[in-house]
Every structure is written in C-alpha cells, then in structure tokens.
Amino acid sequence: MDETFGKAHRIFLKKEIDHVFTMKEKVLVFPFLSHVSFEPSDTPSFAVLITVPKKRIKKAHDRNRIKRLIRESLRKEKAPLLARALAQNHKILFSIVYLWEEIPVDDLIEQKIKKLISRICELP
C-alpha cells in the first residue's frame, strides 16, 4: 500500500474546516480530541486537520515537532481509515486537536493515534 501523506489527505479549505468543527461526533483519546465527519463520496478517502494550540505549547518548534510526529503516525496507520472509507463509500473528514501541555514521546503518540483511528473506524 502507498505510505504517503500528501495534500490529498489534508484539510485546508475554510469550508471543510468549519464543517468538521460543527459536527457532533467527537472522539477523545487523551492527549487527542477528534471531531469527525463522514460524507458520501464518489472517491472514498480521508482528510485530516492537525492543530496544536499555542495556549498549551508556547514554542513554535515544539508545536511543529508534535504535528510532525502526528503526521508520521497517521502515515503509518492510515490503512484502517482507507478500508473504512472504501467499504462505505465515504470521505472521512476529521480534526486532531492536541490537548496535553507536555511534549510527548514518539511511542506514546503512535499508540494513541492507533487507538484514535480504531475508535474513528468504529463510529456508525
């Protein structure tokens, strides 16, 4: 399987960002909060928005590192998301908001992202 994480897998349109944050579906796997939206689509896939609030992590290089770790974990663990999208012909739009005030270890982020993805795939 293709293990890239390009622009097709990122939410960057203001309309899509607003749509994701107005949805009622939320998944909490500490230190991540995820807002999830499933939309019928001819081209099933997923797209994600990653945010690390400046209020919690003050230094930009720390916020960038956390986002980079999250993207890397998503790149490795995207197979269940694509399988769910293909099975139900949906485009899965979701955001990941980082809630912790500390810089995590790489292994912790990978474990939590894997758990978050499995929780998203279990949603109706």
Q: The domain that contains 98 carries what CATH number?
A: 3.30.230.10
> Which of the residues in the chain have pLDDT under 70?
1
pLDDT in the model for residue 34: 96
Q: Which pLDDT score is estimated for 10?
A: 94
Q: Evaluate whether 112 touches 31 at the Cβ level (below 8 Å).
A: yes
Statement: the pTM of the whole predicted model exceeds 0.85? yes
Q: Which pLDDT value is given to residue 24? A: 85
Segments forming the whole domain that contains residue 92: 7-122
Identify whether 19 is part of a domain.
Answer: yes
Residue 2 lies in a domain: no
| 45 found inside a domain | yes
Q: Is the residue at 1 inside a domain?
A: no
67 neighbors 52 (Cβ within 8 angstroms): yes
pLDDT at 1: 59
Check: CB of residue 95 under 8 Å from CB of residue 20: yes
- Domain count across the chain: 1
